[in-house]
């Protein structure tokens, strides 16, 4: 399979916008890819927004953004929308996109999958496409009880070491999620192992994305 590279050299700034509904979505969906991009494109910068960052979860989200993006992190935007209620506050959520995100004009955007079973995730995915109409958007996946995983089309092979770092960060930082039966390192590693198999990754591991539009 021929590999495609992003249209930036290692010296050029690569502006990445990471969008998540809840604390831990970005990290679960594309944490390994963020770690790899930071290595591959040293001049990249990560803009970060989490729409439901309440209480202790906001502390965790800040810490995670700092760990994953490191010195390349631009001031993270943390909003206080209630988990599960975003579609009912659509106007306020859209205003964040219009007033705080649109002007960033990122080169690459990570957002939720439009087919995700979670209503907040779907709203954020839709607003991403509404707001950024001439941008490169990759939709990440979040494993969950609902069983909504699909057939992604873009793969980012990752070294096992990167996957292990991602999972270690997830387990260390998001202590508030440890009572969820699925929030286990096996869940995260298993999905990356399956995606690695699908793209024939040398390491055996990968993260995967849905891409609606790609310009060569």
Point out which residues bind Zn ion (CB under 5 A): 21-22, 25
- The SS3 of residue 89 is helix
**Smallest distance, Å, CB 47 to Zn ion?**
19
Residue nearest to Zn ion (CB): 22
Cα-based distances in Å from 95 to 51, 107, 124: 12, 21, 12
The DSSP annotation for 148-209 comes to ------EEEE--HHHHHHHHHHHHHH-GGGTTSTT-SHHHHHHHHHHHHHHTT-SSS-EEEE
Sign, Cα dihedral of 210, 215, 40, 24:
negative
**Smallest distance, Å, CB 118 to Zn ion?**
6
With CA atoms as reference, report the closest residue to 28 among 203, 192, 200: 192
Q: Which two tokens stand for residue 195?
A: 């995606």
Q: Which two tokens stand for residue 157?
A: 């092979």
**Smallest distance, Å, CB 143 to Zn ion?**
11
Please, which residue, 27 or 107, has the CB nearer to Zn ion?
Answer: 27
**Smallest distance, Å, CB 149 to Zn ion?**
14
Please, which residue, 125 or 163, has the CB nearer to Zn ion?
Answer: 125
Please, which residue, 119 or 203, has the CB nearer to Zn ion?
Answer: 119
Please, which residue, 22 or 193, has the CB nearer to Zn ion?
Answer: 22
Please, which residue, 170 or 199, has the CB nearer to Zn ion?
Answer: 170
**Smallest distance, Å, CB 153 to Zn ion?**
22
- In terms of phi and psi (left: phi > 0; alpha: psi -120 to 50; beta: otherwise), the region of 151 is beta
Please, which residue, 14 or 123, has the CB nearer to Zn ion?
Answer: 123
**Smallest distance, Å, CB 82 to Zn ion?**
13
Compute the distance between CA of residue 189 and CA of residue 193 in angstroms, rounded to an integer: 6
With CA atoms as reference, report the closest residue to 121 among 40, 29, 190: 29
């Amino acid at each position: 399979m021929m590999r495609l590279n992003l249209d930036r050299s290692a010296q050029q700034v690569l502006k990445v916008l990471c969008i998540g509904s809840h604390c831990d979505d970005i990290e679960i969906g594309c944490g390994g890819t963020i770690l790899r991009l930071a290595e591959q494109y040293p001049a990249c910068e990560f803009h970060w927004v989490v729409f439901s960052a309440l209480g202790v979860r906001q502390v965790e989200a800040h810490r995670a953004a700092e760990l994953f993006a490191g010195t390349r992190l631009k001031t993270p935007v943390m909003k206080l929308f209630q988990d599960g209620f975003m579609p009912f506050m659509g106007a306020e959520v859209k205003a964040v996109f219009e007033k705080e995100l649109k002007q960033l004009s990122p080169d690459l955007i990570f957002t939720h999958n439009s087919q995700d079973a979670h209503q907040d995730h779907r709203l954020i995915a839709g607003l991403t496409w509404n707001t950024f109409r001439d941008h490169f958007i990759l939709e990440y996946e979040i494993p969950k009880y609902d069983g909504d995983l699909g057939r992604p089309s873009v793969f980012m092979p990752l070294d096992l070491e990167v996957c292990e770092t991602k999972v270690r960060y997830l387990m260390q930082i998001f202590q508030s999620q440890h009572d969820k039966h699925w929030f286990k390192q096996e869940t995260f590693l298993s999905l990356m192992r399956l995606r690695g198999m699908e793209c024939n990754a040398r390491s055996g591991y990968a993260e995967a994305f849905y891409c609606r539009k790609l310009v060569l």
